[in-house]
Homo-oligomer: A and B are copies of this chain.
Amino acid sequence: MTNTQVTLIQLDNYGPWTVTPEPRREVDLQTMQSRLYADLSQLFGNRDGYVFFSRFDNMIAVTNGLDVDDHALIQESIGNRYPVTTSLSIAVDPAPIAALGTATDQLQAAGSAQDKDRRSILRGDPLDEAERTDDDLHIAHFDVNDATGQYTDELNEFDTFISIEQGYAELMRYMREAHDSLSFFVGGDNVIAVCAGLSADDYRDAITHVREAVDVELKVGVGKAATAHGAGMDAKHALEACRHDGHDIVIDD
């Protein structure tokens, strides 16, 4: 059984900040957001966690192995280096979507995302060290079959982007609704999903659904470990095995 620790990261009162006193230059906002994400990726990643940029003002991290002190240090380090602050909310559940639900509830209970006085919240309880197992996290790494040959080298780049995006939009929704899992586009033709304990048939079901719904052909490698990095690296190797052997699904057990 999986046991996923999720951290919701929310920039405090960010929307109003972007237009106060006047709208700020878009290129500066883009630079600031993407660097903040890059730094969080290193700060969590150095402790074997993963962060996904999702909406940039709300980011979602998988943080098995990080305790409250680790979170406090990350929060402090960002606060020391950026013009904005962050609130963090931690929760654990076998189902990733449920963990994020609890994390979201905890943060909403502390105040609105646009409450000027709600700053640098740190809430929630990490997974007890004694309860951690090598099977806590299941990470699935999807990519599009022959994306370069079928799309990038053939179509208008925006039509390629639309195809990848429609495949992602369908996968993210289906994996959430049918399988309680959280899927994130990570660039190129790649999607990484943090999954509940799914079978090979479940993964096949998702791939089939996306093909039938939007005609995008996916394959997937799956890894399992105590940390996001461990499971994610196994998933990458499993995906390489897919490429090498022509399989659609490889699960590293």
A27 CB to nearest B CB, Å: 3
A73 — which chain B residues lie within 8 A by C-beta?
46
B229 and A80 form a contact (CB under 8 A): no
A187 and B19 form a contact (CB under 8 A): no
Among B60, B182, B188, point to the contact of A57 (Cβ < 8 A): B188
Segment from A48-56, A122-130, A202-210 that makes contact with B: A48-56
A86 CB to nearest B CB, Å: 13
Given A34-B35, A157-B100, verify A23-B237 contact (CB < 8 Å). yes
A149-182 CB mask vs B (1 if < 8 Å, else 0) is: 0001111111111101110110011001000001
A229 CB to nearest B CB, Å: 7
B113 and A186 form a contact (CB under 8 A): no
Among B41, B162, B173, point to the contact of A173 (Cβ < 8 A): B162
Given A113-B153, A165-B169, A233-B25, verify A51-B30 contact (CB < 8 Å). yes
B26 and A30 form a contact (CB under 8 A): no
CA distance A47 to B123 in the complex (A): 23
Among B34, B77, B153, B160, point to the contact of A34 (Cβ < 8 A): B34
Among B19, B32, B42, point to the contact of A31 (Cβ < 8 A): B42
CA distance A35 to B29 in the complex (A): 13
A29 and B187 form a contact (CB under 8 A): yes
Given A41-B27, A153-B112, verify A32-B161 contact (CB < 8 Å). no
A162 — which chain B residues lie within 8 A by C-beta?
172-173, 176
| Most B CB within 10 A of own CB, among A19, A56, A81, A114 | A81
Given A104-B155, A104-B156, verify A26-B38 contact (CB < 8 Å). no
A54 — which chain B residues lie within 8 A by C-beta?
157, 161
A100 — which chain B residues lie within 8 A by C-beta?
156-158
Residues of A near any B CB (own CB < 8 A): 8, 14-15, 19, 23-35, 37-39, 41-47, 50-51, 53-58, 60, 73, 76-77, 79-83, 97, 100-101, 103-104, 108, 112-114, 148, 152-162, 164-166, 168-169, 172-173, 176, 182, 186-189, 192, 229, 232-233, 236-237, 240
Which 3 interchain pairs have the tightest Cβ spacing?
A: A27-B45, A56-B187, A23-B236
A sample of 13 inter-chain contacts (CB < 8 A) reads A8-B157, A14-B188, A27-B42, A27-B229, A29-B187, A31-B41, A32-B81, A54-B157, A55-B164, A57-B188, A58-B161, A80-B83, A100-B157
